[in-house]
A and B are shown apart, each in its own frame.
Chain A
Amino acid sequence: MSSVELLPALLVVVPILLATVPIALGLRYDRTGWSVTLATTVGLFAGTVYLATVVYGGSGTNQEVAVIHELGGFTAPMGIELVADTLSTMIALLVTGTALGVLAFTRVGGPRGNTFYSGYLLLVGGLLGLTMTGDVFNMFVFLEIVGLGSYALISSGRGPEAAVAALKYLIIGTVGASIYLIGVGFLFMATGSLNMLDLAATVPTLEGQNLQLARAAFAFIFVGFAIKVAQWPLHSWQPDAYQHAPDGVTPLIAALVSTVSAYALARLLFTVFGAEFIASTPYASEIIVTVGAVSVVAGSTLAVIQTDVKRMLAYSSVSQFGLIVAAYGLLTETALVGALIHLIGHGLMKAGLFIAVGIIAIGYGARTVDAYAGLAGERPFVAGSMAVLLIALVGIPPSIGFIGKWYIAVGAIEAQSWLVAGVIFLSTMLTLAYVARLLERMYFTPASALEAGHEDTATVGHAVTDGGTATVRGTRVTIGMLAIVIFVAALAVFLGFAGDAFFALLEPFVESADLEVSP
């Protein structure tokens, strides 16, 4: 087994093992969590980059370029595989990169404490496992690890709301994972296998009773993931979780947890079940498209009427993931590429946006849309970056948001799905509505107009900086925080020129998905 093939396993195992280190060191030292986590994530990122050079450097089909690790030397289909193919490597890059970037915020922005960083590493490890696993049951395990990490991190927020939000997430998330597990059970009954590639080979041959089982499995798995990906109306855990999680946690969860779940859904739909199965199952693609489309409309509408910025962005995620899910349901190559690009782009933009929200909360004391008044004048850099990211979220070129939407739109037109085409248009309009609301506050409403309401929050923030309430001692905006937001904003624009590159990188995976639409 060469060293490269060891990497997928290391990427999963190392963070989970190292998650214990901050706690262990915490017995003796006070503040080692951040350093340990930084070292780990740097290592993970470097490892992923190396993995990427190997995967994307190779030529051939998706299966040929993939780096596969067989855990414990047990060969598939009996053993568990970790697979880094063209798609999972890209998601792994997003995960490790974002995890590294968010650390720039948490060093000063908090939350602090060694337990927090243990949860952080656990979450990252779980996400990487979820990304690279090649086994449907193993996927459930990682789903639970991710869940545990998220519950822990969300509950580390101050106040009772965080605890309630975490509990809500815990219950609903577990329900979702359990439903997924039931689906896996049905699938195992139908095929006698848990390995994804083995399943992919077996599913098309199913007949009679077994086919019914597989269809039931599809229903359970899809609904389970609809919860995890936060599709309306199963999204209710998500806005609470995003809003009440600590500012340092929200970027990580918003950018990664739902994203990796949506990736896992794509993996299951296109690798395990396959486009042909979905197309031949009655109403399957219609269900996927409808759930996505409804989420887009409901999510954006709810986002428009929010007053809390974090909550608004949370509903925005509901709608953006709706777009991605709807694109899955189109079953065309272009739409799938668009969905995957939007998956990555949305993760990136939301990470940047939530970090910016954290910075603004620390530096300006603003959390509601109204309190953002006059922000541009007072905090030009963070307001500018946020504006760029918001505009990218609407999908105005050149930006990563535009490419994703563009490919999805092209795919919708190719598939002659005017419903999705209309929903994309509507979602752009509604996104524009809530983005414009925020931009208008930041840039065109003077702060003095709302001085009275603003003063309260400002003094609260002030009291905190003065050390009046000891929990967040010495919180301030650092250069590193600003730098990471500006970097993400620049990257979101820069990647707007990389549409062809994305297409080329993802092509092997999309081809392996074997969608019937040819051009």
Chain B
Amino acid sequence: MAVVVNRKALTFWEKLYLPAIIGGLKVTLKHAYNTLILRKVVTMEYPEQKWTLPTGYRGAPYLVKDQDGDTKCVSCQLCEFVCPPKAIRITPPGDTGLKADRTNAEKMPAEFEINMLRCIFCGFCQEVCPEEAIFLQQDYSLTALSRGEMIYNKEKLLSLGGVSPGIQKWKHKLEEAQAQENFPVKL
């Protein structure tokens, strides 16, 4: 059913439009005064200058390594599953014989691709990741000369992502298991 929204009728002053024009002119004149008389800069020289982004800014998602330089991603494919625009594509190791950086994590992706043209920077991948291996970082200006270049592969994502130190649960598990090999058990 159509809903009729009653608009408030314009008042006499609003109908004149003059207050709005004067309001706009005031801003323009203020900037003109700041630039011409006070010599203040009101624009930013992008791209030489860039904004300071707030923490938690949702830029492009990249893969990160842990403090030992090991790939954190274990190819659980939850981000691929949750990705609303289907921008992520993971090739699991399968029978390729690829060994994981951390041996007891058993697996890591053979290939990990994010199509940055599809990505909508929603952050679901970061939120769903059980390994804290993917983070939306500060990059917002992604350019390339072809669509193909906009599909970032594992190597590129890892090099852009850098290191994100964490609790290293796999290392902890390994140490705990090794400690139990010795008798009496000391923990």
Is chain B found bound to chain A in the same assembly?
no
